[in-house]
């Protein structure tokens, strides 16, 4: 079956899970999760892959080992393209979150980003790109930004808000809407991912060597542990 739209019941599923985030409730509703949440997400991913590359759908289980919150299940389903600079999609009770970039930025890549922000030769193009993204509804994610200037940069730098970033990702949210439950969802989501691609391309071009080196090091580390 091709993608026919996300399932409206996914919103209700996550609202009910939030109210009763237990193994008992999950077990009773596992077939509903497979049919209304994961199934349509997998079908959407299959249609996005030819243009955006292989995607990964995240497991529904939370890692509670180091968290004070011991509720076992995530209140959303997420999908990410399997690239160093990735596209992301999330569905929850609140609707969709679309975005992409680099969430966990290696130190060398973050240093290179700050150099590009401070360099007038690259900052002008970056400012224009960010303006286009804002016009399309995307904002830089600042949930982990520094409160002060990073070392080596003045607090009154004209682009201090960019220098403070530690996550190089953009995103925007869409509340539940009728188009999400129709085949039109593919076209709208794919178009948003194409917008995100402009940010991903800038990151890849500007930070490419640092990002590639970190990705290769990470893969070697995982191989060493196997």
Q: Which of 86, 104, 109, 123 lies closest to 209, judged by CA?
A: 109
User: Phi first, then psi: what are they for 128, rounded to 5°?
Assistant: -65, -40
State the burial class of residue 120 (Cβ atoms within 10 Å of its Cβ: 0-12, 13-18, 19+). Answer: exposed
Rg (CA), the chain: 19
Task: Give the integer Cα–Cα distance in Å for 225 and 109.
Answer: 25
The residue count for the chain: 226
pLDDT at 213: 61
Task: Give the integer Cα–Cα distance in Å for 133 and 186.
Answer: 20
DSSP SS3 for 182: coil
DSSP SS3 for 190: helix
Task: Give the integer Cα–Cα distance in Å for 35 and 216.
Answer: 37
What distance separates the 2 farthest-apart alpha carbons in the chain?
A: 58
Token pair 């009910």 is found at 16
Helix (H) or strand (E) holding 28: helix 23-28
Residue 155 DSSP code: T
Tens of each residue's pLDDT in the chain, 226 residues: 689 999 999 999 999 999 999 999 999 999 999 999 999 999 999 999 999 999 999 999 999 888 889 999 999 999 999 988 999 999 999 999 999 999 989 999 999 999 999 999 999 999 999 999 999 999 999 999 999 999 999 999 999 999 999 999 999 999 999 999 999 999 999 999 999 999 999 999 999 877 766 554 443 333 332 2
What is the separation, in whole angstroms, between the first and last Cα of the chain?
36
């Amino acid at each position: 079956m091709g993608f026919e739209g996300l399932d409206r019941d996914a919103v209700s599923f996550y609202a009910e899970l939030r109210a009763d985030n237990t193994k008992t409730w999950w077990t009773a509703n596992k077939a509903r999760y497979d049919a209304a949440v994961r199934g349509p997400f997998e079908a959407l991913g299959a249609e996005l892959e030819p243009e955006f590359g292989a995607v990964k759908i995240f497991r529904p289980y939370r890692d509670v080992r180091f968290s004070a919150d011991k509720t076992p299940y995530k209140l959303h389903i997420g999908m990410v393209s399997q690239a160093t600079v990735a596209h992301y999609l999330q569905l929850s009770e609140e609707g969709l979150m679309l975005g992409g970039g680099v969430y966990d930025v290696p130190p060398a890549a973050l240093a290179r980003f700050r150099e590009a922000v401070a360099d007038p030769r690259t900052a002008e193009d970056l400012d224009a790109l960010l303006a286009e993204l804002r016009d399309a509804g995307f904002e830089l994610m600042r949930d982990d930004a520094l409160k002060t200037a990073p070392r080596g940069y003045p607090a009154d730098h004209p682009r201090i808000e960019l220098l403070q970033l530690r996550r190089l990702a953009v995103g925007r949210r869409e509340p539940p809407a009728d188009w999400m439950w129709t085949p039109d969802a593919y076209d709208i989501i794919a178009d948003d991912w194409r917008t995100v691609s402009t940010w991903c391309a800038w990151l890849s071009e500007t930070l490419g060597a640092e990002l590639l080196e970190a990705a290769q090091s990470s893969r070697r580390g995982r191989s060493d542990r196997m």
